[in-house]
Chain A
């Protein structure tokens, strides 16, 4: 069994699309868009495309009218072109999250063998084992204290595994926590589906090979196509509606005082991701909550930051932040953040993090060991600068 038409209709992001739909494989974007509108009726394509965008703006995890038909195959490249032209990172992230999560749902519902064929189509080095040959990789207790076997129906070469799993930053996906035998990581269906989900997300996020000037030309040309222009406007309108619900990210320590600039790179990185509505991993969420709570941030302010995330649930988030506050968790230290590979000192080339600071009383350079010390130091420097400026002002008078 290889990838057939039915599979491509369900999973149009597969490379086999080019082979099975050779007629569109070599079309340029404008050519494809024109062909799309000549082939399909507005009443069929419009609600489905708009629904995908609406669902992503509402942070849904499933596309409720997803239909594995011929139109679905054409919608996928159309989505990519629309995202390219819309040129908004936040929309791109939301669509990538929705589309990949939906793909995961389809993969978990489909026949188990299809995962093997999909992985193969993606040129991943994957092996499949039927129930009889599935390897027991783990013993686990369920909630009733009964031990059960975890079986692996798949194995994937560790280099392919690393390409997909490394950036999940999920402790459960860490290579050291996997069953690795003779170069292959053994996975159950859920594990492989999660990796494929990440593939879909990456593929969607990495669209846009065009340089800026070319993108502007493309946009101009596509917007002259009436149907495309209409879709573009509708989506932009939907986005504007939802955007008004999103308050701009403004971190305030005390009312009226913006201290976001005083935050260390690790925290700024997480806030930037939240701002771009990228999904945050578990540890990033914890680091941010404990850090902001330690700075006496109001719970509503923290909840607001999380409201941008794709999987936001107001009730759950507020409960968890309140719980963390009640427990009084200590914010993560630099060492812990480093061990979680979330230290961004090098990425931001932050001098304070990398070189430390000079403490005159100790006559030596001291390293920053905690994000809170970073804020303290920056605040001290800020205040000192202000007082010098004030003094200079007084002197010049």
Chain B
């Protein structure tokens, strides 16, 4: 009788192998000895944190010895990173961290590949929900997946952040920005700048509000009502006012997109169609008005100043970047260590330059030096049995796998087998 190795043991072995073979490629992050390190071991939900290393050699030894499921380090620098209590660590500074993860925002493809299952009434469905559509319970089991489309959306968000905010507005230099594919559903961006390192949480929150466009006060930006007439924002007012008008202008020349956008807004009226049609019938005049330097009366039938605020709020959501806000505000956050493996996919956390980001395709990357899918060399097929009710279609390295249902048995190349095992949707059928 063949003794079946547990999937965990198999994955530990694979992760250890990776670290042993790639030790020289594990980079040393800046101020290494002042960083806190943390690991999530296999088979353990709890993070082991508050570790400090005087040299990267000890850190690498730990990687090869344990092959941990997840590896993190702090954005902050401490005098004593190894101390258990945060207040005794001797906080000094913190890099500015940005996390863009498709988990935190809507992408259309989620309807195709994200599933949920209600633990209370056993109802299930696809897409993102916070509570069961049938019984309203929040006790849900969720299966979130990845595809080229949602990773592209995450990539575009990070590009938007760099091109529309960090470089032109904040004057951040290329060399201060460290970008990485997270190994799963998004990208990280770390800004290593002496200026930013000294900001506290409240000051970081101000930057986050700027990047996301949240908590804007449109009246401060210039929107105002005088004698029943609404005067809008000016294209010539530098800052968010200009950004909003540019987006407004872009929508005005794209009627279909404008119409779709207007339908996403909640105007708090019983006659939304009237408002939308009224807006669509005024696009030419509005276009002329926002480009007129001496006249700025925003006149659309049914639109009072509050409707304009709803409209501008919607525009701000389109213009702002979708970032995971607490990550950027909290100065004690941890992020994944570059070139470590992500325990939910088996993919590598891949550092990228801004130029490399443009054509980057993590699920089918042609440049081997940037390819996060590391388990491709082995020419062995691994037989797995699917253990999850529904496993969506996955396209890795140009090959389509699935969709599968519970009980399906199939052979997979090692990178796909490791991906499914890391996702905990399959179990091994044979000894490897």
Q: Which residues of A contact B (CB under 8 A)?
A: 135-141, 145, 147, 157-159, 162-163, 165-167, 171-172, 174-184, 186, 339, 341
B239-A162 in contact (CB<8A): no
Main SS class of interface, B: loop
CA distance A184 to B226 in the complex (A): 33
Of B171, B206, B226, B238, the contact of A175 (CB 8 Å cutoff): B206
Question: How does the 8 Å CB contact mask read for B20-60 relative to A, with 1 for contact and 0 for none?
Answer: 00000000000000000000000000000000000000000
The answer to the question of B92 belonging to the interface, with a C-beta cut-off of 8 Å to chain A, is no
B234-A138 in contact (CB<8A): yes
Of B168, B205, B217, the contact of A181 (CB 8 Å cutoff): B168
Contact residues in A for B199 (Cβ distance below 8 Å): 159, 162
Of B198, B216, B220, B237, the contact of A179 (CB 8 Å cutoff): B237
Given contacts A176-B209, A176-B210, A181-B238, contact A163 B203 (CB under 8 A): yes
A158-B170 in contact (CB<8A): yes
Contact residues in A for B217 (Cβ distance below 8 Å): 171, 174, 177
B222-A175 in contact (CB<8A): no
CA distance A216 to B222 in the complex (A): 53
The answer to the question of B280 belonging to the interface, with a C-beta cut-off of 8 Å to chain A, is no
CA distance A175 to B240 in the complex (A): 10
Contact residues in B for A167 (Cβ distance below 8 Å): 202
B234-A162 in contact (CB<8A): no
Main SS class of interface, A: mixed
Given contacts A138-B234, A147-B294, A159-B196, contact A177 B207 (CB under 8 A): no
A178-B239 in contact (CB<8A): yes
Given contacts A171-B217, A339-B215, A341-B205, contact A141 B231 (CB under 8 A): yes
B239-A183 in contact (CB<8A): no
B206-A166 in contact (CB<8A): yes
A166-B202 in contact (CB<8A): yes
Interface centre among A141, A145, A159, A186 (most CB of B within 10 A): A159
Closest A-B pairs by Cβ, 5 of them: A183-B171, A179-B238, A182-B171, A139-B234, A162-B203
Of chain B, the residue at the smallest CB distance from A184 is B171
CA distance A132 to B293 in the complex (A): 21
Contact residues in A for B207 (Cβ distance below 8 Å): 158, 162, 175
Of chain A, the residue at the smallest CB distance from B209 is A176
Of A139, A145, A341, the contact of B222 (CB 8 Å cutoff): A139
Of the A-B pairs whose beta carbons lie under 8 Å apart in the complex, a sample of 30, sorted by A's number, is A135-B238, A136-B236, A137-B238, A138-B237, A138-B238, A139-B222, A139-B237, A139-B293, A145-B226, A147-B294, A147-B296, A159-B199, A159-B203, A162-B203, A162-B206, A166-B202, A166-B206, A174-B215, A175-B210, A176-B206, A176-B210, A176-B240, A178-B239, A179-B239, A180-B170, A181-B169, A182-B168, A182-B171, A183-B170, A339-B215
The answer to the question of B83 belonging to the interface, with a C-beta cut-off of 8 Å to chain A, is no
Contact residues in B for A140 (Cβ distance below 8 Å): 222
Of B195, B210, B234, B236, the contact of A159 (CB 8 Å cutoff): B195
From 223 to 275 in chain B, residues with beta carbon under 8 angstroms from any chain A beta carbon are 224, 226, 231, 234, 236-241
In whole Å, how far is B293's beta carbon from the nearest beta carbon of chain A? 8
CA distance A175 to B214 in the complex (A): 11
The answer to the question of B172 belonging to the interface, with a C-beta cut-off of 8 Å to chain A, is yes
- Extra contacts, 8 of them, besides A174-B215, A183-B172 (Cβ < 8 A), are A166-B206, A167-B202, A176-B213, A176-B216, A177-B220, A180-B239, A182-B171, A339-B215
How many positions in chain B have a CB within 8 Å of any CB in the partner chain?
36
From 293 to 334 in chain B, residues with beta carbon under 8 angstroms from any chain A beta carbon are 293-294, 296
Contact residues in A for B198 (Cβ distance below 8 Å): 159
Total number of residue pairs linking A and B with CB closer than 8 Å:
95
In whole Å, how far is A152's beta carbon from the nearest beta carbon of chain B? 9
CA distance A180 to B238 in the complex (A): 7
CA distance A121 to B236 in the complex (A): 33
Contact residues in B for A181 (Cβ distance below 8 Å): 168-169, 171, 238
In whole Å, how far is A53's beta carbon from the nearest beta carbon of chain B? 32
In whole Å, how far is B351's beta carbon from the nearest beta carbon of chain A? 24
A177-B216 in contact (CB<8A): yes
Contact residues in A for B296 (Cβ distance below 8 Å): 139, 147
Contact residues in B for A172 (Cβ distance below 8 Å): 220
Interface centre among A165, A176, A341 (most CB of B within 10 A): A176
B195-A138 in contact (CB<8A): no
Contact residues in A for B172 (Cβ distance below 8 Å): 183
Of chain A, the residue at the smallest CB distance from B197 is A159
The answer to the question of B409 belonging to the interface, with a C-beta cut-off of 8 Å to chain A, is no
Contact residues in A for B221 (Cβ distance below 8 Å): 177
Contact residues in A for B215 (Cβ distance below 8 Å): 174, 176, 339
In whole Å, how far is A333's beta carbon from the nearest beta carbon of chain B? 15
Contact residues in B for A138 (Cβ distance below 8 Å): 222, 234, 236-238, 241
In whole Å, how far is A337's beta carbon from the nearest beta carbon of chain B? 12
In whole Å, how far is A336's beta carbon from the nearest beta carbon of chain B? 11
Of B169, B196, B213, B216, the contact of A180 (CB 8 Å cutoff): B169
Contact residues in B for A180 (Cβ distance below 8 Å): 169-170, 210, 238-239
B226-A177 in contact (CB<8A): no
Of chain B, the residue at the smallest CB distance from A145 is B226
CA distance A341 to B172 in the complex (A): 27
Given contacts A179-B237, A182-B171, contact A174 B220 (CB under 8 A): yes
Contact residues in B for A135 (Cβ distance below 8 Å): 238
Contact residues in A for B196 (Cβ distance below 8 Å): 159
Interface centre among A140, A157, A167, A175 (most CB of B within 10 A): A175
In whole Å, how far is B28's beta carbon from the nearest beta carbon of chain A? 27
CA distance A186 to B242 in the complex (A): 15
Contact residues in B for A182 (Cβ distance below 8 Å): 168-171
A186-B203 in contact (CB<8A): no
Of chain B, the residue at the smallest CB distance from A157 is B195
CA distance A139 to B221 in the complex (A): 10
Contact residues in B for A165 (Cβ distance below 8 Å): 206
Interface centre among B170, B202, B205, B207 (most CB of A within 10 A): B170
In whole Å, how far is A211's beta carbon from the nearest beta carbon of chain B? 19
Interface centre among A135, A136, A182 (most CB of B within 10 A): A182
CA distance A339 to B313 in the complex (A): 14
Interface centre among B168, B198, B240 (most CB of A within 10 A): B240
CA distance A175 to B209 in the complex (A): 8
